[in-house]
């Protein structure tokens, strides 16, 4: 059985409220936070990008597992905001962490599900006997055009999961995917910011793929929503995952532990992975976890995990829980964000 051996999360300390962003652009802001269900979001510092966030999360995963960097045989870094168009993030992260050069290093892109795609690929890579330990990372400094509706929720964070066959804290029981050519979100190579299809990103995109992957997983595993202790979905806002969960038959209680979007916003590739980490922070042996990511363009990856008795030791070692990092925050003014945007994109 292949499973999660360890995980680490990095949530930047800076926060801003969506209402302040709306106010900065002279828009009505009274109902912004309530309508989105997002009350504040994380903001990367001027010297942070998807690589630095990935390094922080990966380092934490290694520390929690008490695994030496030289024991990692493969790494994937999934992101929608790789710092370079041509130059891999994965080799940079590997070099900073001290991973061996005899290493499979891969960058992945699939909007907000690039991180979970890495978990699937590395699980099979490990199952085939090509690696003892693999590192799957989802990291984003989410991009959004200034004053666009995406700016209210697009945030920054990273999650890293070490996969292997020994000292497993959660078995990967099964996984599946559901994909189609649905152009709800895109950015051409020469463009600075992504574009989106507005309301089209809802039912024809997010819900079709999340429900499609989830229902396929139920069929494969012969499981029902009530058989799971926890559930987590990609969280572009607070409404979509709640509605998807309700349509599938999950309860609000099952969502609660991993529902982090109101406090940190949508860190794209890291969204569902941080939700999973938050669940593992409190889960007990025998608990069953359902996870379904979503990436525009479009596709979803659905997983079933079963927690093992090794989770207790990992929880004792983990000093940087999701809850702790959410509480550790500092609010900043929108003028600082605007300055970074102007500098980075030379507007």
Catalytic center residues = 80, 112, 234
Q: Name the H helices within the chain.
A: 18-24, 32-36, 50-65, 89-97, 114-127, 208-221, 239-248, 252-256, 261-264, 271-280, 311-317, 322-327, 334-345
Query: What's the CA gap between 326 and 14, in Å, rounded?
Result: 10
Which residues neighbour 311 within 8 Å (Cβ) at sequence distance 6 or greater? 169, 170, 280, 283, 284, 285
Say whether 283 sits in a helix, a strand or coil: coil
Residue 269 tokens, joined: 């590739």
Query: C-alpha dihedral over 339, 343, 344, 347, to 10 degrees?
Result: 100
Asked whether 85 and 189 are in contact (CB, 8 A), the reply is yes
Distances from the Cα of 280 to the Cαs of 61, 198, 205, 235, 289, in angstroms?
13, 34, 28, 17, 9
Contact between residue 263 and residue 325 where contact means Cβ atoms under 8 Å apart: no
134 beta partners: 74, 163
Residue 303: CA atoms inside 13 Å, Cβ hemisphere, count? 31
Q: Are 187 and 195 in contact (CB under 8 A)?
A: yes
For the chain, the C-alpha Rg in angstroms (whole number) is 19
Closest CA to 160 of 219, 230, 231, 96: 96
Which residue has 């989770």 as its token pair? 311
Closest residue by Cα to residue 122 from 114, 111, 100: 114
């Amino acid at each position: 059985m292949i499973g999660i051996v360890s995980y680490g999360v990095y949530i930047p300390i800076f926060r801003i409220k969506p209402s302040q962003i709306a106010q900065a652009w002279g828009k009505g802001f009274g109902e912004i936070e309530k309508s989105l269900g997002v009350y504040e979001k994380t903001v990367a510092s001027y010297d942070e990008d998807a690589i630095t966030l990935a390094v922080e999360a990966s380092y934490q995963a290694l520390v929690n597992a008490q695994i030496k960097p030289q024991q990692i045989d493969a790494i994937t870094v999934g992101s929608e905001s790789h710092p370079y168009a041509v130059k891999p993030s994965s080799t940079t992260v590997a070099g900073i962490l001290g991973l061996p050069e005899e290493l499979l290093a891969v960058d992945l892109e699939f909007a907000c599900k690039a991180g979970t795609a890495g978990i699937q690929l590395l699980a099979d890579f490990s199952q085939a006997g090509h690696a003892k330990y693999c590192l799957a990372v989802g990291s984003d400094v989410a991009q959004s055009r200034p004053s666009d509706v995406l700016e209210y929720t697009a945030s920054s964070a990273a999650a890293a999961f070490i996969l292997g066959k020994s000292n497993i804290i959660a078995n990967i029981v099964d996984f599946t995917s559901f994909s189609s050519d649905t152009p709800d979100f895109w950015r051409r190579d020469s463009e600075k910011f992504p574009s989106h299809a507005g309301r089209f990103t809802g039912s024809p995109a997010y819900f079709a793929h999340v429900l499609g992957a989830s229902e396929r997983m139920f069929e494969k595993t012969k499981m029902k929503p009530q058989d799971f202790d926890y559930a987590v979905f990609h969280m572009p806002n607070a409404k979509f995952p709640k509605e998807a969960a309700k349509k599938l038959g999950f309860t609000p209680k099952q969502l609660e532990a991993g529902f982090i979007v109101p406090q940190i916003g949508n860190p794209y590739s890291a969204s569902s992975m941080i939700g999973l980490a938050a669940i593992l922070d409190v889960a007990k042996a025998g608990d069953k976890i359902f996870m379904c990511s979503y990436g525009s363009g479009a596709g979803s990856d659905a997983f079933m995990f079963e927690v093992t008795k090794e989770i207790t030791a990992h929880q004792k070692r983990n000093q940087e829980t999701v809850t702790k990092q959410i509480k550790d925050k500092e609010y900043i003014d929108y003028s600082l964000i605007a300055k970074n945007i102007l500098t980075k994109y030379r507007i």
